């Protein structure tokens, strides 16, 4: 995607999936509702679409500083709730400062190709797992859930995964027993 997108989210979804604008709006209402139920406020009507490659580079840069989670959350909030242009370098620098990163270091990184290889490596990993959109949840590098799903879908999937991966103990209690306090051999 280009950095400055002229289409809004509904127009982009309409073109991508061959649906009407009204259908695109209806589909996003489910996402908005699920976000609201989780305590998040999404503003799809004012969202600024952009190429997020530089935002991803910034999160990788923040990872080196031990602030990847904070940076990721700040960028997502800026995008979904505040309708900020997260493809704009000045906006990204402002967001980085808010989470405690040095503005000049961030500006220098964004004006270079730094962290691009790391983001491209992540893209290749995602391709290998079949990721074609977000959200995408990968569990145990084996099980995938795609798209915004209701909680019951996650519960069903996790229960299935747990059932498939149950450990069967083949011996009796003759072996050593360990817990947080240490290990002991059972008395006979």
- Residue 13 · residue 47 · CB < 8 Å: no
Q: Is 169 exposed, middle or buried (0-12, 13-18, 19+ CB in 10 A)?
A: exposed
If you count them, how many residues does the chain have? 188
Q: Which pLDDT tens digit goes with each residue over 24-46?
A: 999 899 889 988 988 999 999 99
Query: Which DSSP string corresponds to 52-83?
Result: -HHHHHHHHHHHHTT-HHHHHHHHHHHHHTS-
CA atoms within 13 A on the CB side of 116: 6
Listed in sequence order, the DSSP H helices in the chain are 9-17, 21-37, 53-64, 68-80, 89-98, 103-110, 116-128, 151-164
pLDDT in tens, the chain (188 residues): 889 899 999 999 999 899 999 999 998 998 899 889 889 999 999 999 999 999 999 999 999 999 999 999 999 999 999 999 999 999 999 999 999 999 999 999 999 999 999 999 999 999 998 898 888 888 888 888 887 778 899 899 888 888 887 765 555 555 555 555 655 555 55
- pTM for the model stands at 0.77
């Amino acid at each position: 995607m280009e950095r400055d997108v002229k289409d809004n989210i509904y127009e982009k979804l309409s073109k991508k999936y061959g649906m009407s604008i009204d259908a695109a709006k209806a589909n996003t209402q489910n996402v908005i509702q699920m976000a609201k139920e989780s305590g998040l406020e999404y503003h799809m009507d004012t969202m600024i679409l952009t190429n997020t490659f530089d935002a991803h580079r910034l999160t990788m840069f923040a990872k080196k500083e031990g602030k990847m989670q904070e940076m990721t959350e700040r960028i997502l909030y800026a995008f979904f709730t505040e309708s900020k242009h997260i493809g704009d370098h000045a906006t990204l620098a402002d967001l980085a400062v808010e989470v405690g990163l040095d503005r000049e270091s961030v500006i220098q990184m964004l004006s270079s190709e730094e962290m691009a290889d790391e983001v491209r490596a992540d893209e290749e990993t995602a391709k290998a797992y079949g990721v074609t959109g977000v959200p995408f949840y990968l569990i145990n590098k084996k099980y995938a859930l795609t798209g915004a799903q209701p909680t019951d879908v996650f519960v069903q999937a996790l229960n299935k995964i747990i059932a498939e991966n149950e450990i069967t103990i083949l011996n009796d209690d003759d072996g050593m027993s360990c817990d947080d306090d240490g290990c002991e051999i059972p008395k006979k």
